[in-house]
Amino acid sequence: MTAALIGLLGNAYLWVKAGHLIFVIFWMAGLFMMPRFFVYHQEAAPGSAEEKLWVDREQRLLRIILKPSMAIVWLFGLALALDTGAFAQGWFLLKFAIVLALSAYHGWMVGYARRLAAGERRLSGRTLRMLNEVPGVAAVLIVILAIVKPF
């Protein structure tokens, strides 16, 4: 089935790839910002006006940047993968696994924002700062796999 889709994008391929990378940048920017928002949020007194402001900022970051960007990265990425037959290539399978992990991290952030808004503060600022390294490490590995294609 997928073999029939190879080359389907035709001349649009490079435009789809450009779109893919533009929204990768937006998605990554949001992934880097959110845990910092959580740290500042947790430094605000429970029930304070400042805390409400952080809840609002987190919801807006999710709604305007994170969720649409992730959806478009996935849509364009899958279109590229079907166009090039990438599912049969080793580098892509590892990239795909890392992107799945990054999407799970995104999902964790949605859940943590919800719990924070309900007044639960499960993790320390230190742990949140460490989690902030996850998208950076993932980006390094994904870009090397996508550009160098070592296998």
Which positions lie near ligand HEM, rule CB under 6 A? 17, 20-21, 24, 28, 73-74, 77-78, 80-81, 84, 86, 99, 102, 139, 142-143, 146-147
Using the minimum distance from each CB to ligand HEM, give the nearer residue, 64 or 143: 143
Using the minimum distance from each CB to ligand HEM, give the nearer residue, 66 or 81: 81
Minimum Å distance from CB 21 to ligand HEM?
6
CA distance 73 to 42: 30
Minimum Å distance from CB 38 to ligand HEM?
21
Minimum Å distance from CB 53 to ligand HEM?
30
CA distance 99 to 36: 21
Minimum Å distance from CB 11 to ligand HEM?
16
Using the minimum distance from each CB to ligand HEM, give the nearer residue, 26 or 55: 26
Using the minimum distance from each CB to ligand HEM, give the nearer residue, 9 or 62: 9
Angle between helices 90-117 and 49-60 (to 10 degrees): 150
User: Which two structure tokens, joined as six digits, stand for 5?
Assistant: 């889709």
Minimum Å distance from CB 147 to ligand HEM?
5
Residue, CB closest to ligand HEM: 77
Using the minimum distance from each CB to ligand HEM, give the nearer residue, 17 or 67: 17
- 62-98: string of b/e by CB count within 10 Å (b at 16+)? beebbeebbebbeebbebbbbbbebeeeebbeebbee
Residues in the chain: 151
Q: Are 34 and 113 in contact (CB under 8 A)?
A: yes
Show the beta-strand stretches assigned E in the chain: none
